[in-house]
Amino acid sequence: MAEMKTKARKKSAKKTNDPLSQHGISGELALDLMRDMLLYRRFEEKAEEAYAIGKIGGFCHLHIGQEAAAAGSIKPLRQDDYVMSAYREHTQALAKGVHPNAVMAELYGRKDGASGGKGGSMHIFDADCRFMGGHGIVGGQVPLATGIGWKIKYREEDTVSLVFMGDAAVNQGGFHEALNMAAVWHLPCIFVVENNEYGMGTAFSRVSRTAMATKSTPHGIPAHSVDGQDALATYAFFRDLADEVRQGAGPQFVDLQTYRFRGHSMSDPVSGTYRSVEEVENAKVERDPIALLRDVLMSADLLDQQRLEEMDAEARQISAEAADFADASPLPGPEALYRNVWAEINPNGRLFFDRRPESGEVG
Amino acid sequence: MAVMTYREALNAALREEMERDPDVFLMGEEVAEYDGAYKVSKGLLEEFGDKRVVDSPISELGFTGLGVGAAMAGLRPVIEFMTFNFAFLAIDQVINSAAKMYYMSEGQFPMPIVFRGPTGAALQLSAQHSQACETYYSHAPGCKVVTPGTPADAKGLLKAAIRDNDPVAFMEGELLYNFKGEVPDDDDFVIPLGVADLKHEGGDVSIVTHGKMIHVALQAAQKLEKDGIHADVLDLRTIRPLDMDAILQSVKKTNRVVYLEEGWPYAGTGAQIVSMIQEEAFDDLDAPVIRVTQADVPMPYAKNLEMLAKPSANHVIEAVNKVLYR
């Protein structure tokens, strides 16, 4: 529990500010957020462990350090709102209601995974939860989420389409094309940059002459900067913003400032050539979203050490169960290989060309 | 039977499908107020309004991705590319998003979307505006490819493409838009995907082709008739799904095959077809299969060079003579 062993921060300042009432958040809701964030942290640690022993393969991008960004932005949404993301999306899927077992089984590449084991870490989908993936090409999901906004407007619904991207995505052409269209057609889209300061190993300041909060300005879309390590502030912000968008405010752009405590992916050490050990360690002490919320809750006498430990044990338990579930879930059967390539197998003509008997296309 | 142009046939198909299904909308550059760069969408804005006939910014990647997202959420978009030459900017969204979404979500998100527009060369438009693009799309599992060559096929296949639940690259011919032909009066005339059409019958040689090259093949077949050579001209109509049975049937009859296509030879559609014929009908062949394609160069501008680069009826006749050992 390295990140959480940071010493409790000074309580006096917190009490006078009373962040809970400042943000209109009940003690119960704040405890729920704490519970959610503990789960995200323990879930990702479990994934890290499973990766280390070869249970998870391929690319795997952890969200550790960015828990408040997920909980604070997704938890205020309605169940029928849409959330789409890039490839650092395990905890966002959890936040949107995808079962931890289904997420972990997907990381394990198992039959009971959210995407039947076919997507993996980067492609978690759950249509029922309106969690729209899990996309692996930087910025590629931004036009897609704009299309979901288009559908909401087309059908005159009152939902919103919220899409996450990393800070590097704003340098993609598709980002600007999508924002322009969302503005022109006044779509109910919330574009959220999870700004953890680095696109893989490249500091944002090295690849942009202008600040993040200016990126939507040319398109006429309001920009907002939010401390994504502050769960309560993030929650309150997105609660209000989603309401505004629902009521017709049009597209919004959010610079959600956060920090990742792990490497870009499992092959990247926590601190590498592009950032120092001190920088990461300082962030863990100063900007750990879980520790920050813990301090607020303890200051408000809503949480004590014992309750915290119980909640943490519960988070570990759910994560362990998810790993057990994933481990017990069978690999997808060989029949899954050719399943769902096509939504419609036309009665005439060949669709597969590999001449393998199992594709059913041997002439 | 009504006589109409290829353009009018496409227009009728769009109108009928938009009337039938309120989830169908058309988006692309100049499709609304301008009536379409090639006037395929003429009158649709007036009839269906700007919610369903939508002028996009010149953002191929963007509006293609928007269409894919709208399809994920349940609509049935028709995305028009002014030409498929411009769709290279969008091919990430077609291949990485549209063609793979259903598979990587294990069937949670069907992708009923049509990407349509002209492909291939017109006249003296030079290298960047003159290329046949179908093999880029047929290469990827998850994407269907349709290439109508006549007004009737254009209408019946576009209606089928819009109703299909998979992404369809629907590739038209710029030089075909004014081409007239008979189209059945049936107000719900649908041609299923994956059914080839024998456009000319003869027993001596099979000229297999697709898209606007059927007209080059028919021209060649007519000239060959004068020499007493009777050719099958088999129009695949759809590249994926592919009516391999129809190809094999023709090969069994003629034992000699020429594949004609507008695109380049390397890994072209013909390369795929030839591979399949040699694998599945080796014993029926009396000669190696020969491909006729565009010259293996970017399209030049100069009129004479362009003529030399394009596959012609004469190229086809030469190839037919070769497979007949004449």
On whether both B86 and B168 belong to a single domain, the answer is yes
Number of domains present in the structure of chain B: 2
Q: Tell me if A146 and B105 make a contact (CB, 8 A cut-off).
A: no
Q: Which CATH number is A181's domain given?
A: 3.40.50.970
In a domain, B188, yes or no: no
C-alpha span between B195 and B148 (Å, rounded): 12
For testing the chain A interface, which of B54, B59, B105 should be mutated: the one with the most A CBs within 10 Å?
A: B105
Last residue of a domain, one of B129, B158, B183: B183
Looking at chain B, list the stretches that DSSP marks H as alpha helix, in order from N- to C-terminal side.
Answer: 6-20, 44-48, 60-72, 91-92, 100-104, 134-138, 151-163, 213-226, 244-254, 269-280, 303-309, 313-323
Q: How far is A258 from chain B (nearest CA, A)?
A: 27
Q: How far is A185 from chain B (nearest CA, A)?
A: 10
Range of the domain at A291: 2-332
On whether both B218 and B178 belong to a single domain, the answer is no
Last residue of a domain, one of B183, B206, B239: B183
Q: How far is A197 from chain B (nearest CA, A)?
A: 25
| H-helix or E-strand spanning residue A100 | helix A100-107
Q: Which CATH number is B238's domain given?
A: 3.40.50.920
| H-helix or E-strand spanning residue A226 | strand A223-227
Chain A touched by B242 (CB under 8 Å): yes
Q: Is 0.85 exceeded by the ipTM?
A: yes
Q: Tell me if A349 and B243 make a contact (CB, 8 A cut-off).
A: yes
Task: Give the catalytic positions of B in this structure.
Answer: 60, 129
pLDDT, position B187: 80
Q: How far is A238 from chain B (nearest CA, A)?
A: 23
Q: Tell me if A146 and B92 make a contact (CB, 8 A cut-off).
A: no
In a domain, A212, yes or no: yes
pLDDT, position A6: 42
Chain A residues touching B66 at Cβ < 8 A: 143-144, 146-147, 150, 178, 181
Q: Taking chain A (363 residues) in consecutive chunks of 10 residues, what is each chunk's mean pLDDT?
A: 44 62 97 98 97 95 96 98 97 98 98 98 98 97 98 98 97 98 98 95 95 97 98 98 98 97 86 87 96 97 97 98 98 96 97 88 61
Range of the domain at B139: 2-183
Chain A residues touching B102 at Cβ < 8 A: 340-343
Exposure on the CB side of residue B200, measured as CA atoms within 13 A: 24
On whether both B71 and B177 belong to a single domain, the answer is yes
Residue A195, beta-bridge partner list: A257
Q: Is A344 left (phi over 0), alpha (psi -120 to 50) or beta?
A: beta
Residue in B closest to A117 by C-alpha: B106
Q: Tell me if A343 and B112 make a contact (CB, 8 A cut-off).
A: yes
pLDDT, position A15: 47
Q: A–B: how many Cβ contacts below 8 A? A: 186
Of B51, B108, B244, the CB nearest to A127: B108
In a domain, A190, yes or no: yes
Residue in B closest to A126 by C-alpha: B108
Of A118, A144, A363, the CB nearest to B65: A144
On whether both B170 and B284 belong to a single domain, the answer is no
pLDDT, position B216: 98
Q: Tell me if B244 and A118 make a contact (CB, 8 A cut-off).
A: no
Segments of chain B scoring below 70 in pLDDT: none
In a domain, B55, yes or no: yes
Last residue of a domain, one of B183, B209, B225: B183
For testing the chain B interface, which of A176, A351, A356 should be mutated: the one with the most B CBs within 10 Å?
A: A351
Residue in B closest to A153 by C-alpha: B51
Of A82, A343, A347, the CB nearest to B111: A343
In a domain, B189, yes or no: no
In a domain, B77, yes or no: yes
Q: Are B217 and B270 in contact (CB under 8 A)?
A: no
On whether both B158 and B206 belong to a single domain, the answer is no
On whether both B135 and B219 belong to a single domain, the answer is no
Of A119, A136, A143, the CB nearest to B62: A143
Number of domains present in the structure of chain A: 1
Instruction: Give first-to-last CA distance, chain B, whole Å.
Output: 41
Q: What is the DSSP string of A10-30?
A: PHHHHHHH-HHHHHT--HHHH
Q: Are A73 and A238 in contact (CB under 8 A)?
A: yes
Residue in A closest to B54 by C-alpha: A185
On whether both B246 and B153 belong to a single domain, the answer is no
**Which pTM was predicted?**
0.95
C-alpha span between B40 and B15 (Å, rounded): 11
In a domain, B98, yes or no: yes
Chain A touched by B166 (CB under 8 Å): yes
Q: Are B248 and B281 in contact (CB under 8 A)?
A: yes
Q: Tell me if B66 and A173 make a contact (CB, 8 A cut-off).
A: no
Q: What are phi and psi of B180, to 5 degrees?
A: -100, 150
On whether both B205 and B296 belong to a single domain, the answer is yes
Q: Tell me if B193 and A125 make a contact (CB, 8 A cut-off).
A: no
On whether both B96 and B130 belong to a single domain, the answer is yes
| H-helix or E-strand spanning residue B209 | strand B205-209
Of B102, B194, B244, the CB nearest to A340: B102
pLDDT, position A17: 63
On whether both B167 and B236 belong to a single domain, the answer is no
In a domain, B192, yes or no: no
C-alpha span between B11 and A202 (Å, rounded): 49
